[in-house]
Amino acid sequence: MSDGILVDLRVIWEALVRFFGLEALVLVIGLVVILAWVQVNALFLVWLERKVAGHIQLRIGPKEVGPFGVLQTIVDGIKLLGKELITPQPVSWLLFILSPIMVFTPVLVAFVVLPFGPHLIIRDINVGLMLIFAFGGINVLSILMGGWASNNKYALLGAIRSVAQNVAYEIPLLLSAMSVVVMSGTLSMQGIVEAQEGVWFIFYQPVAGLLYLIGATAETNRAPFDIPEAESELVAGFHTEYSGMRFGLFFLAEYTNMFIVAAVATTLFFGGWRGPFLPGPWWFLIKVYILIFGVMWVRWTFPRLRFDQLMNFAWKYMIPIALLNLLVTALVMKLVR
């Protein structure tokens, strides 16, 4: 019985492959899975964040809707969908509407090159790592777009803070990633995982790993680097004027960005999908969610930094250390080879 269904499925699959071609089919299915995954991942992460925050602050967090409150975020999501999309009168409406849509582009593009398993990758481009970092810049651009178009001083201040911070922390982020690239000799995500056979790069590159994690926390605008949306100073930062699902898109993008930076960290420093007993994708997800848990732990433990402290830390400490690290790595690799 079940065998018959399997045979039917295979026949349908082969017919589809013959009609559309394997590459196009993988791309379409991959994009659909990504879109679904983004939602499920955000639902889970928001719930996890509330639970983690609750337990760190000696509360319980959500517990009413569903077992352990797992359905709470779904209910919140439905509430957001039902809300009115308010467009304030004096905004620059085209940029105002474009911004939440554009903030999603880099998120979707990054998923194309994330290696979930030995064969589970939509497309292994030979400049995969650059692709993720390059489109990360569009993220900042759209935050700035939304902040300016809102015609609101809090939104604009939040957006400008976000740019200053992202520009400062992107440099150590890129430099630490470059040390890994120098070691593995490739920019392809799958190639970097393959280069970590035996020993993870975090053991060769502890400094770069630490710099990457700090920079990634700053890139995702999370505490202690959350001055772009500091509630006590700026209401809600760049998305102050957004309501309903437009705000929801910013929110989704933020949590998906967390997943992406953790996934890139896993690929660069923690051996990607490598691990014993379990199949690759399981290891990949376990490592990613452990890293995300660490980021959440940091958020609910440390207070927000002041702006000048933040800038000084990036420009005076992180960048020189990252440069030195890259230099030493290159030198050692030259001597070893």
Partner 1 sequence: MQPVIAQYIRPEVVAYAVFFFVLLLTLGGALIAVIPKSIIHNVFGLATSLVGVAGLFIYLGSEFLAMMEILIYVGAICIAIVFAIMLSQPMHLQIPPRLRPKVFFSFVVSLVVFISFTVMVVRTPWEQAVRTSNDWGVKRLGTLLLTRYELLFELISLVLLMSIIGAVITAATASSEKAPGSRDGEEDGV
Summarize as ranges the residues that interact with partner 1 (CB under 8 A).
17-21, 24, 90, 92, 95, 125-127, 130-131, 133-138, 140-141, 144-145, 148, 151, 156, 160, 163-164, 166-167, 170, 187, 306, 308-309, 311-312, 316
Cβ at position 54, least distance to partner 1 in Å: 32
Cβ distance to partner 1 smaller for residue 96 or 283? 96
CA–CA separation, 133 and 260 (whole Å): 11
Indicate the SS3 state at residue 270: coil
Cβ distance to partner 1 smaller for residue 99 or 217? 99
Cβ at position 308, least distance to partner 1 in Å: 4
Determine contact, residues 282/256, Cβ cutoff 8 Å: no
Cβ distance to partner 1 smaller for residue 19 or 277? 19
Cβ distance to partner 1 smaller for residue 175 or 285? 175
Which single residue is written with the structure tokens 């992180």? 318
Cβ at position 114, least distance to partner 1 in Å: 16
Cβ distance to partner 1 smaller for residue 178 or 258? 178
**Separation in Å, CA 288 to CA 21, 52, 234, 281, 297:** 32, 16, 31, 10, 14
Determine contact, residues 56/301, Cβ cutoff 8 Å: yes
CA–CA separation, 260 and 116 (whole Å): 12
Q: What is the separation of C-alpha 333 from the centre of its chain, rounded to a whole number of angstroms?
A: 30
Indicate the SS3 state at residue 83: coil
Cβ at position 18, least distance to partner 1 in Å: 6
Cβ at position 43, least distance to partner 1 in Å: 30
Cβ at position 154, least distance to partner 1 in Å: 14
Cβ distance to partner 1 smaller for residue 72 or 176? 176
The set of residues, in sequence order, having a beta carbon less than 8 Å from that of 153 and lying 6+ positions away, is none
